[in-house]
Amino acid sequence: MASVYRLLSFHASTNDLSINGNFRGLHRKPMESVMMNVSPLRLIRQKDTHWRSLGTVKTYFEVMATKDPCGLGQELKKSDRRHDLKDNDLDPLKELEVRFLKFKKQDYLENRDHYQNLAEGQSPKFMVIACADSRVCPSKILGFQPGEAFTVRNVANLVPPYQHGASETSAALEFAVNTLEVSNILVVGHSCCGGIRALMSMKQKSNSKSFIRDWVSLAKSARLSTEAAVGNLSFEKQCTHCEKESINGSLLNLLTYPWIEERVTEGVLSLHGGYYDFTDCSFEKWTLVYRESLEGGSKFAIKGCSTWS
């Protein structure tokens, strides 16, 4: 393991890079005497363009392999050699490189002024809370452009109540509302949600520890109301009902944050729910109304319901 530690400490100085990206020299800490007798220039594989900028690090794995009693370095050595034989087109990040360069050419460079303005700051109108599901990209389905929506994604698009304490979602809410002063918060749920299925499937009592179980349990009230309302229907239909019910639960949880309730009461912040069904590509939207005295004695109501299809 000592060899691994030296590898993590060993790094190239920014002053050691030549114009073409090769290392002219190496910066090393005194303890890394194992590299003292190795010529860095000899470690660079000039003919291998794929490893041109990483040649020193790659070959350093091979050098350390002979000095690693646990064989860890040897495994890395073998893995790198296999990778060396692969076609670069098989690199999972190669496609991302192509997409990025396309974005830069067709979007960024054609809208340079807009992106330069974004570099100075952001003032989005929307805060979006969406599911982490790879099939549900709010910017894609709703057409948000850079700078228009401050977005946080988590399993099952849940909003924990204020009393739950710190989380990435509550931190994002605090920044979006108090600093960016967004005027709309949109909670977006979707069909076939794995998080909601986990919620509806989990046993009432379980001693097993699960991060997913603990997280989706935040929506247990949505599960209970679903079982009470449509418990006689199929599991699939119960899940669909709960997917929408949990959105309303998250909207109510938003109001447990004092600074959100204050802005909603003042009329400068609106709370919206949205449901994306990707089986037929439709989108339902609604708005939560919150006032101290509404008809029937309730503080909450739903308005503006519509379906885009």
Q: What pLDDT was estimated at residue 54? A: 43
Q: What pLDDT was estimated at residue 33? A: 40
**What is the average per-residue pLDDT within 110-127?**
96
Strands 300-308 and 270-277, sheet pairing: unpaired
Q: What pLDDT was estimated at residue 208? A: 77
Helix (H) or strand (E) holding 285: strand 282-290
In the predicted structure, residue 79 carries a pLDDT above the cut 80: no
Q: List Cα–Cα distances, 141 to 107, 166, 188, 241, in angstroms.
A: 18, 29, 11, 22
Residues 6+ apart with CB under 8 A from 247: 157, 187, 188, 189, 273, 274, 275
Residues 6+ apart with CB under 8 A from 28: 10, 35, 36
The answer to whether the annotation marks 131 as part of a ligand binding site is yes
The answer to whether the annotation marks 133 as part of a ligand binding site is yes
The answer to whether the annotation marks 11 as part of a ligand binding site is no
Residue 207 confidence class, pLDDT cut points 50, 70, 90: confident
pTM score of the predicted model: 0.71
Amino acid at 99: R
Q: Where are the alpha helices (DSSP H) in 47-162?
A: 55-65, 72-85, 94-103, 112-120, 138-142
Euclidean distance between CA atoms 139 and 167, whole angstroms: 23
